[in-house]
């Protein structure tokens, strides 16, 4: 838990400085873990990266922050010298899209859901952090967008991106390599901690619950699951997370039915039975209660 707590603190600093660009990434190490014959997971600062590398080239899922692009490329070059042909963004947040401009300048094609391009194209306000996020430069924007599902046919297998409406944001995608049996959940899955649900970007707790149910339907006991944040996971880890979200939803619904206000529910510590296991990250019990309370049905 200590290692993930340190990661959580780094994530909090990263998100809180998404607009200022002041975070120091000099001590960040980007590490790779092979998940299949041609699929890898990279960790550094920001969202976990998925990589497919093979005879047709390389494509990556998310690209963290611009200052880490060279480190990300160096980590990829340890197992592939092929060009990075595509970047798929799982959603619009800067810890998943910050490297877009850098990779696009080298010829990579940026792909994302329609709503990712819409949000990146205009100034955004992240209410939870009371932070403004300026519009991304045109070079960083996705040039291929989709509404419900998109498939790539590279490196010997078909890979599908599925839109998850109103989950972590309104533009989330989960990415599935069926042949390699790997699933990238983006920020619909914070492994081992309560999630950040960006209500101001169209996110909702019911949407995250639905997204995790969709992920479970794609997975089996041998699936290797890349969460948006946290360590590599299994189907049982995703199931535990999904079950926790349902418990939070039901606890909040019961508090509302009893006539409690949001402030009273927080003071009553209605998620106490879950907090020791799930409340040790940067999203605290009061935050997850608030996300659930304020989520649209």
Is the pLDDT confidence value at 12 over 60? no
pLDDT of residue 158: 95
* pLDDT class of 22 with cuts at 50, 70, 90: low
What share of the chain has pLDDT > 90, as a percent? Answer: 91
Question: Where along the chain do its domains lie?
Answer: 2-250
Q: What rounded mean pLDDT belongs to the chain?
A: 93
CATH number for the region 2-250 comes to 3.60.15.10
The pLDDT value recorded for residue 88 is 98
Over residues 233-238, mean pLDDT = 98
pLDDT greater than 90 at residue 144:
yes
Say if residue 24's pLDDT is above 90. Answer: no
Per-position DSSP letters for the chain, written without gaps between them: -HHHHHHHHHHHHHHHTTTT-----TT---EEEE-SSSEEEEESSSS-EEEEEETTEEEEE----GGGHHHHHHHHHTT--S-EEEEE-SSS-HHHHTTHHHHHHTTPEEEEEHHHHHHHTS-EEETTTTEEEPPPPGGGS-SEEESSEEEEEETTEEEEEEEETTSSSSSEEEEEETTTTEEEEEEEEETTSPPP--GGGT--HHHHHHHHHHHHHH--TT-EEEEEESS-B-HHHHHHHHHHHHHHHHHHHHHHHTT--HHHHHHTTTTHHHHHHHTTSSS-HHHHHHHHHHS--
Q: What percentage of the chain exceeds 70 in pLDDT? A: 93
Q: So what's the pLDDT on residue 14?
A: 47
pLDDT at 17: 43
């Amino acid at each position: 838990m200590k290692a993930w707590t340190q990661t959580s603190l780094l994530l909090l600093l990263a998100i809180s400085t998404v607009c200022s660009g002041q975070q120091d990434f000099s001590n960040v190490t980007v590490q790779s873990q092979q998940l299949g014959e041609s699929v890898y997971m990279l960790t550094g600062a920001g969202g976990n990266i998925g990589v497919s590398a093979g005879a047709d080239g390389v494509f990556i899922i998310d690209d963290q922050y611009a200052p880490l692009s060279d480190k990300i490329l160096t980590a990829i070059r340890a197992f592939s010298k092929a060009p990075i042909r595509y970047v798929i963004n799982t959603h619009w947040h800067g810890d998943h899209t910050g490297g877009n401009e850098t990779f696009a300048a080298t010829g990579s094609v940026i792909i994302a859901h329609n709503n990712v391009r819409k949000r990146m194209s205009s100034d955004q306000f992240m209410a939870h952090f009371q932070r403004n996020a300026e519009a991304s430069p045109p070079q960083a924007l996705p040039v291929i967008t989709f509404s419900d599902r998109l498939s790539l046919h590279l490196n010997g297998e078909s890979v599908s991106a599925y839109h998850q409406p109103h989950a972590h944001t309104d533009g989330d995608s989960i990415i599935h390599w069926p042949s390699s049996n790997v699933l990238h959940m983006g920020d619909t899955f914070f492994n081992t901690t309560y999630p950040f649900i960006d209500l101001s970007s169209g996110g909702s707790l019911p949407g995250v619950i639905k997204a995790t149910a969709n992920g479970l339907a794609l997975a089996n006991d041998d699936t290797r699951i890349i969460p948006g944040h946290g360590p590599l996971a299994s189907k049982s880890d995703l199931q535990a997370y999904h079950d926790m979200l349902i418990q939070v939803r039901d606890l909040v619904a019961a508090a509302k039915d009893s006539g409690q206000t949001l402030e009273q529910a927080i003071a009553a510590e209605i998620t106490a039975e879950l907090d020791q296991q799930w409340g040790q990250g940067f999203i605290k019990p009061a935050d997850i209660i608030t996300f659930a309370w304020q989520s649209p049905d």
